[in-house]
Amino acid sequence: MPAAVGAVLIALMVVALLREPVELDPSTPEGTVQTFLQAVASEEWEDAVGLISDTAPDKCKATDLARATDRQAFSASLRDTNVFGDSAVVEVTLSFAADPEPLGGGAYETHASYSLEREEDRWLLTDVGWPYLWACPRES
């Protein structure tokens, strides 16, 4: 009996790991955040910067984003979305894989919030927390 339970658990883990991520509508605030994080994960810096509003106080350049990342594998899951007219806040949970290097850190999770504004027919980030909170200096 314990072997059967173990086999079921392993099968469920395999299914969960092979499951494709849900693709959110890119015309929504949460879809914009997903597209931004996918661009970061793929190291498509110009695409990521293209999703940050020119009005953002910490507008990054692609080189800033590329320089700031530690390129650690991560996944994200949607926690909450709040829309207030043409403004929105999207909250996600970010899960980071364990660092395979000797003395590297273990796996961990953190929460991040992204503020967005509707500009014409699309949503753009106006406040980018993770991963580049420190990469883009705020204008005075």
Give, in words, the CATH class of 26-128.
alpha beta
pTM for the structure as a whole: 0.76
Q: Could you report the per-residue pLDDT of 78-135, keeping only the tens digit for each?
A: 999 999 999 999 999 988 776 666 655 667 788 889 999 999 999 999 988 776 555 5
Q: Could you report the per-residue pLDDT of 18-37, keeping only the tens digit for each?
A: 456 789 999 999 999 999 99
Between the two ends of the chain, the Cα-to-Cα distance in Å is 66
Distance separating alpha carbons of residues 83 and 117, to the nearest angstrom: 10
Which pairs with CB-CB distance under 8 Å and at least 24 residues apart come from 1-6?
A: none
Distance separating alpha carbons of residues 132 and 112, to the nearest angstrom: 11
Give the closest residue to 34 by CA, choosing from 118, 101, 84, 94. Answer: 94
